[in-house]
Amino acid sequence: MNPHLFRLPTETICAIVAELDPFDAVRLSQTSGRLRKLVKDYQIYWHQYHFVAADDFIGARRGCLVTLFNHLVTFPGPRTDVTLLESICRLLQAECPQKILHYKAILVQIRDIDYTEAVLRHVRAITEHSLSYFSSTGLFEDMRQGLELLEIISPVSMQRDSLSQWIVPLQESVIEAAYAGASQEAAQGIQLLENIGQKTGHKIDNTQWIVPLEKSLTQSASLGHWRKFQSTSKILDYIAFHEQKVVDYHKWVNPVMQSIARSRILRAWDSMAMGYTVLNEVHSKRKWKSILSDA
Indicate whether 96 belongs to any domain: yes
User: First vs last Cα of the chain: how many Å apart?
Assistant: 71
Q: What pLDDT, on a 0 to 100 scale, did the predictor assign at position 93?
A: 82
The secondary structure of residue 138, as a DSSP letter, is: T
CB–CB of 13/1 below 8 Å?
no
According to DSSP, residue 75 is labeled: S
What SS3 string covers 254-265? HHHHHHHHHHHH
Of 20, 52, 79, which residue is a domain's last?
A: 79
At residue 291, the pLDDT reads 36
- Closest Cα to residue 221, out of 180, 248, 259, 179? 259
- Same domain, yes or no, for 75 and 88? no
C-alpha–C-alpha distance, residues 181 and 159, integer Å: 32
Which stretches in the chain have pLDDT values below 50?
290-295
Give yes or no: residues 20 and 40 share one domain: yes
Shared-domain flag, residues 217 and 139: no
Report residue 154 CA to chain centroid gap. Answer: 11
Single-letter residue type at 88? I
Convert 243-267 to b/e letters by CB count within 10 Å (16 or more is b).
eeeebebeebeebbeebbebbeeee
Residue 116 lies in a domain: yes
Which residue, 152, 183, 205, sits at the end of a domain?
152
Within a domain: residue 111? yes
> Residues 6 or more apart from 139 whose CB is under 8 A from it?
133
In a domain, 65, yes or no: yes
pLDDT of residue 156: 58
Please check whether residues 21 and 86 belong to one and the same domain.
no
Question: What domain range includes position 252?
Answer: 213-295
The pLDDT assigned to 294 comes to: 44
Whether 170 maps to a domain, the answer reads: no
Does 97 lie in the same domain as 33? Answer: no
pLDDT score for 107: 78
The answer as to whether 186 is a domain residue is no
The verdict on 27 and 72 lying in the same domain is yes
16, part of any domain: yes
DSSP three-state, residue 20: coil
- Please check whether residue 74 lies inside any domain of the structure: yes
What integer pLDDT is reported at residue 6 of this predicted model? 59
Residues 24, 74, single domain; the answer is yes
From 132, 152, 172, give the residue that closes a domain: 152
How many separate domains does the chain show? Answer: 3
